[in-house]
Structure 1
């Protein structure tokens, strides 16, 4: 059953979950755009990305635009899809260089689950697309 309007506690939980993801992504994009030298300084070596200002600006823009789309309810699903693609690239990068699984490689998965979980809790369109079934299935 998908409700047209989420229950109050569901909406609050969704907003909190989404808000945490949004804060992290805005911080990450903002750091790359406002202080690319700092982002370069704290980027682990060996990722395979050029560690230059232009790359940091590009990554910052590629993260900022979908995050802004995710914030606005009318375009939140598009933003979530685009952020999922960005996170997929981050996961692939960490798999390629053999980063620690739970702390680095799966971090993008954790963010993605929070991203979609928050959206599922606050948006009936997503609940209609991804219904959770309880009880015995037919």
Structure 2
């Protein structure tokens, strides 16, 4: 079966995928929105991670996260959004590894989000299911 002839997604998988994707979208909207205004709590928590306490840097990260999330939320661009969010999570993971944060609660948090992100997309998008066939 080619990508253009994808099988329909079962209802349970579709709703589970939507729920997982919805959680990621809500989390990333929160993450991006709190970085937009010059909140002292945001800029001060960036310093121990090696980032400057600069509201413009926080704002830039917020915009990148929000744009990537918007692309992920739209069915037509969801795969591009997932790729961009994966890159965003990779940067967060690298930052946490560099400052020697705790492994399971901090360093791997981006991995957990990435699994939810791609799992949700896999469950709700037949094109992704066709590209990544776990079973036949």
CA contact (8 A) 2:46 2:52 kept: no
Q: Partner residue of 2:112?
A: 110
User: Normalised by the size of structure 2, how large is the TM-score?
Assistant: 0.91
Q: Distance in 1 between matches of 2:9 and 2:113?
A: 22
Q: Secondary structure of the equivalent of 2:35?
A: helix
Tell me how many residue pairs correspond in the alignment.
133
Q: Secondary structure of the equivalent of 1:89?
A: helix
Q: Distance in 2 between matches of 1:13 and 1:35?
A: 36
RMSD of Structure 2 on Structure 1 (CA): 1.6
Equivalent residue for 2:49, pick from 47, 64, 69: 47
Q: Does 1:124 align with 2:126?
A: yes
The within-5 A match list for 1:16-27 is 16-27=19-30
Query: Structure 1: where are the runs of 5+ without partners?
Result: none
- Show structure 1 runs of 4+ deviating over 6 A: none
Query: Structure 2: where are the runs of 5+ without partners?
Result: none
CA contact (8 A) 1:31 1:38 kept: no
Q: Does 1:100 align with 2:109?
A: no
User: Normalised by the size of structure 1, how large is the TM-score?
Assistant: 0.90
